[in-house]
Structure 1
Amino acid sequence: MKAIGVSGPGKTDVVLLDLPEPPPPGRGQIVVDVEAAGMGPWDRLLNTGGWDVGLRPPAALGVEGVGRVRAVGPGVQGISVGDRVVAHDAPLPGGSGFWAEQALVTAAHVALVPDGPESVVVAALPVNGLTAVQVLETLALTAGKRLLIINGGGSTGALAVQLAAAAGLEVTATASPSAAERLRDFGASEVIDYHDPAWPERARTGFDAALIAAPGTASSALSLVRDGGQLVSLTSDAPRSERGIASTDLYVRPDAAQLARLATDLAHGRLRVTPEPVPLVDGPSAYDRVAAGRTAGRKVVLVP
């Protein structure tokens, strides 16, 4: 089968591969025919040792995707052959990921996809959506509280803006001017141009919490959080706590129930995503753009 990934141990170049099909699913596993698979900046960690997901090269990369169930292993309940499912899976049970025509997946990490949205749209959801949900769950802010989202125009930030606004939070986001109208439409009450070196001075202080989705911005954001507030970084650079502020790093985890709710919100129009579909064979060049942050806020999704 065609796949995009790394050709051997220690290899860092992402290339087109011809891999064997996954083995028959074991207990608690399923095999899916992949219809769409998401890409993100985290994928560069899979083949550089930064995120150990059990990759066994030669192997496809990718920890999120949508597909039709091809085979079901023993002990799996509520999932049948032919079902359309979505998953964020890590570690990868077969040592190989979603950037392929087929993938072996942990059934407990899978959610059924509601009728309506196309697979390429749903595939833009898992890692970014779960991250946004888990940040807001960690912060546990109540309606009316003020949240600062750094890089609100990115794939995770834009979903966090929508979820936070729906929860009644007052959201301020940093983003490029080209994303401002979209984020206001998503519910942001204020959008600040991050290109302006003086943006921290243009923001009102006293935020109850800050969500960091851009490297190198956490310290500036911390200065805008009130005493006793919270800061959560998605870029592994949460600064030392000060003024009683809880400052932590967050790493996404698979959660089928959360993913099912996200897929339902997407199907009912309560969430919007902006995928950029790319043919699987063009995956290496797409990966280079994603790793370099050259996606203009759009989520790249590979389509076999």
Structure 2
Amino acid sequence: MRAVVIRGFGGPEELRLIDVPVPVPARGQVLIRVEAATVNPVDVATRSGALAGAGLMPPREVIGIGWDLAGVVERTGPGVTGLRPGDRVIGLSDRLDVPLGTQADQVVLDADAVAAAPAGASPVEAATLPLNGLTAVQALDRLGLSPGGTLLVTGAAGAVGGYAVQLAAARGLRVTAVAAPADEALVRELGAAEFVPRTARLGEAVRALVPGGVDAALDAASVGVAALDAVRSGGAFAAVVGGAAPPPLRGIRVFNHWIHADGGRLRDLAALVEAGALTLRVAETLPLEQVAEAHRRMEKGGLRGRLVLTP
């Protein structure tokens, strides 16, 4: 089978599509035939060496690329219940130090990192849900806002930010979205009650809409202290990019949220997709062998939705 790996850090030219043996599921694991795998910023950070430079992963001769997928269960390991060969699933690999990622023909995942794919969604669409959807919902869970609370979401037109807006609105939160002026209609459609262009001075602009500042912020665009200024004293602030959390000024509870696999929460997200409460957005689909081109497009920015590779 084929898999995308790197053997050194650098630009997209470091990506290799190599032949490797089909992995074997151990106890509590499943072998999945990959139908679609999403390209995410963490893949670019892995390939470039940024994560290794930050001390988040040790040296390894071969590093696998890819975090989330949609596919079909091929085999189950001992002790697996609730999943059978032929089941269509979505799943997440949340480890950095792996020789094989999800950008491959087949991959082994822990069964508790997998959930049934949302009915009615294509594999390409479904593959965009695990990493970005779980990042958004887990960060919102940690912010702990009650219905009627106010939330600022930066990068609201992006993959994580878009999910955060929809999930927060569904919880009864009043969302102020930050994005490019051209994206105002999109983020309002996703559920934002207020909009602030990303070129504005956030603290002043948000406080003009929400006197005293919002209860919390989910910073999906790594805005940092400028977004923190929009949060009321004693509020909460979630950074979803590693190392992007600002200082906890004015008694604000500040944290970096680190994603983790959670099959149960993934089932909840799939149910929201099926109910029409969560929108899956695909920027473009490319064959697996064009992974380097996908990384180039990711680095250019400006995508609305995710790039998806199809083995």
* TM-score in terms of structure 1 length: 0.92
Contact in 2 for aligned 1:2/1:16 (Cα 8 Å): no
Q: CA deviation at 1:273?
A: 2.0
Q: Which of 229, 232, 253 is the matching residue for 1:246? A: 253
Query: More deviation in 222-231 or 107-116?
Result: 107-116
**1:94 CA drift (Å):** 6.2
**Residue 15 of structure 1: aligned partner:** 15
Q: Alpha-carbon deviation of 1:23?
A: 2.5
The superposition leaves residues 94-114 of structure 1 with CA deviations (integer Å, 9 ceiling, x where unpaired) of 630111111111112111124
SS in 1 for 2:107: strand
Change (3 A) 1:137 1:273: same
Cα distance in 2, alignment partners of residues 81 and 131 from structure 1: 28
Where 1:243 maps in the other structure, the secondary structure is helix
Deviation at residue 247 of structure 1 after TM alignment:
1.1
Show structure 1 runs of 4+ deviating over 6 A.
none
Corresponding residue number in structure 1 for 2:236: 230
Q: CA deviation at 1:68?
A: 0.5
Provide the C-alpha distance between the structure 1 equivalents of 2:202 and 2:10, rounded to a whole number of angstroms.
40
Aligned match of 2:167: 163
- Distance, in Å, in 1 between the alignment partners of 2:29 and 2:97 is 8
Work out the number of aligned pairs and report it. Answer: 300
Structure 2 distance, partners of 1:226, 1:93, is 38
What residue number does 1:103 align with?
Answer: 107
Maintained 8 Å contact 1:45/1:51 = no
* Residues 84 and 266 of structure 1, relative CA distance in 2, 3 Å threshold: same
Q: Which one of 118, 126, 132 corresponds to residue 130 of structure 2?
A: 126
Residue 289 of structure 2, aligned match among 273, 281, 286: 281
Is 1:146–1:171's contact at 8 Å kept on the other side of the alignment? Answer: yes
Q: Provide Cα deviations, 1:187-242, integer angstroms capped at 9, x if missing partner.
A: 1011211134x344322241100111112x21011111111111111122212212
Residues 226 and 94 from structure 1, CA distance in 2 versus in 1: closer, same or farther, beyond 3 angstroms? Answer: closer
Q: Judge which range, 27-36 or 83-92, deviates more.
A: 83-92
Equivalent residue for 2:85, pick from 81, 85, 104: 81
Closer, same or farther in 2 for the Cα pair 1:33/1:259, shift >3 Å?
A: same
Give the AA of the match of 2:287.
P
Partners of 1:153 and 1:286 in 2: how far apart?
Answer: 19
**Residue type of the partner of 2:275?**
H
- CA change 1:269–1:187 in 2 (3 A) is same
Matched, 1:64 2:68: yes
Q: Which deviates further from its counterpart, 42-51 or 111-120?
A: 42-51
Q: Is the 8 A contact 1:4 1:61 kept in 2?
A: yes
Task: Please give the residue correspondences for 1:111-260 in structure 2 after superposition, counting only pairs within 5 Å.
Answer: 111-196=115-200, 198-204=201-207, 205-215=212-222, 217-235=223-241, 236-260=243-267
C-alpha distance in 1 between matches for 2:114 and 2:213: 39
- Cα drift, residue 57 of structure 1: 4.8
Distance 1:118 1:93 in 2: 30
Quote how far apart the aligned CAs of 1:266 are: 1.0
Q: Secondary structure at the match of 2:164?
A: helix
Compared CA separation, residues 88 and 78, structure 1 to 2 (3 A): same
Q: Distance in 1 between matches of 2:110 and 2:269?
A: 19
Identify the residue that residue 31 of structure 2 maps to in structure 1: 31
Structure 1: where are the runs of 5+ without partners?
Answer: none
CA contact under 8 A between 1:142 and 1:169: conserved in structure 2?
yes
Instruction: Give distance in 1, aligned partners of 2:64 and 2:123.
Output: 19
Question: Identity rate of aligned residues, in percent?
Answer: 36
* CA shift digits 1:48-102 (9 cap, x unpaired): 2257578955454001111101111111111111111111112279630111111
Kept in 2: contact 1:60–1:97 (CA 8 A): yes
From the two aligned structures, give the one with the greater helix fraction: 2
Residue 46 (structure 1) aligned with residue 53 (structure 2): no
